[in-house]
Amino acid sequence: MTTSQIDPNVYQAARETAVLTDRSDQGTIIISGETRFDLLNRMSTQKVMSMNKGEGTATILTTDIGRIIDRLLLYATSSTIYALTSENNSDAIARYLMRFVFFQDDFQMQDISKDTVVFGVYGPQARQKVIETGFTDEELPLHHWRQTKFGEVTAYLHRTDPIHGDGYFILGEEKDREALWQRLLDTGLAVADAAAFDYLRIKAGLPRFGHELTGDYIPLEANLWADVSFNKGCYIGQEIIARMESRGKLAKRLVQFTADAPLETGSSLQANGKNAGTVTSTAVGPNGAIGLGYVKTAVLEAEKELVVGDTAVHLKQ
């Protein structure tokens, strides 16, 4: 796979003001029914017993051996939960969840991905920009949301994982795509295309589905500790994750790095001629090559020098 690249002007905007990017490849599922919280709680890593309208959280679906299936962002209304899945993964997640719906469950899902737009605003002035767009000036906790109407257009502001200081999702209907996009552009936001966004999220250390979020890793190895509750009841994969947390010893850990030359995703990281890990994401920007990868904990603790072929790799301190 080739590396992502970024326009230096977009990178400067992300660092100094904020950028706008289209994240509509993320899936959106509406979950309803009286047992919606119960099923999500017994299926995922976060304690999801209840949420009030306007609240949200992140949780992870894992296999029976604690490996990542997907990271979901959950947003509560008064009677439903909106679940944001990873890119182009809503159908797979809906089918997966339905496998665990029991006859006594009151649990329904509707995939509205094709009818939903998701835009991201990231950077130190992200909050100021969304306020200029017309959204609430209320400081939202992470993953909480608020609804706003712009005439006939209904939009939803969600606080999300930060890049360069802050981050927001704006959700709306596909029919309002152009109106919402233009309203955001009118604040002076620079546009980050898919490659630019990938560079920015790698720079921020955010794991991505299909790269760092795969069935090869558990949530703790991906540094997603905040998405895991250690005082809830059983869920699929709980035994393995709890054991790794109690022992305080992970086999590998997600790290950020720079490299002396561009690398390929999937490359093997070596230390003293032995396999030490895997490059999971790479990009090239104004300051050279950067990336994310999983490295064996023993190698990290020994502070061994890492290479990919003849290219030196330097871990972010």
Q: Give the separation between CA 295 and CA 254, rounded to whole angstroms.
A: 7
Q: Please say whether the structural domain 18-188 has been given the CATH code 3.40.50.150.
A: no
Q: What is the pLDDT of residue 287?
A: 83
pLDDT category of residue 247 using cuts at 50, 70 and 90:
confident
3-state SS, residue 42: helix
pLDDT number for residue 191: 97
pLDDT of 4-63, one tens digit each? 678 889 999 999 999 999 999 999 999 999 999 999 999 999 999 999 999 999 999 999
Residue pair 22/180 in contact (Cβ under 8 Å)? The answer is: no
First to last CA, the chain: 27
DSSP string of 99-168?
TT--TT---EEEE-GGGEEEEEEESTTHHHHHHHHT---S-PPTT-EEEEEETTEEEEEEEEEEETTEEE
Structure confidence by residue, pLDDT tens digits, 134-154:
999 999 999 999 999 999 999
Distance CA 82, CA 68 (A): 20
Is residue 2's pLDDT more than 70? no
Mean pLDDT of 218-233: 95
The rounded distance, in Å, linking the Cα atoms of 161 and 146 is 16
Q: What is the DSSP letter of 300?
A: H
pLDDT digits (tens, 9 = 90+) for 285-297: 988 999 999 999 9
Checking DSSP bridges between strand 288-296 and strand 26-32, what pairing results, if any?
Answer: unpaired
> Is residue 251 scored above 70 in pLDDT?
yes
Predicted confidence at residue 3, as pLDDT, reads 58
Q: Sign of dihedral through CA atoms 61, 76, 180, 94?
A: positive
Region 245-265 average pLDDT: 93
Residue 317 has pLDDT above 90, yes or no: no
Strands 19-22 and 190-191: parallel
DSSP state of 45: S
**Taking residues 154-183, what's their average pLDDT?**
98
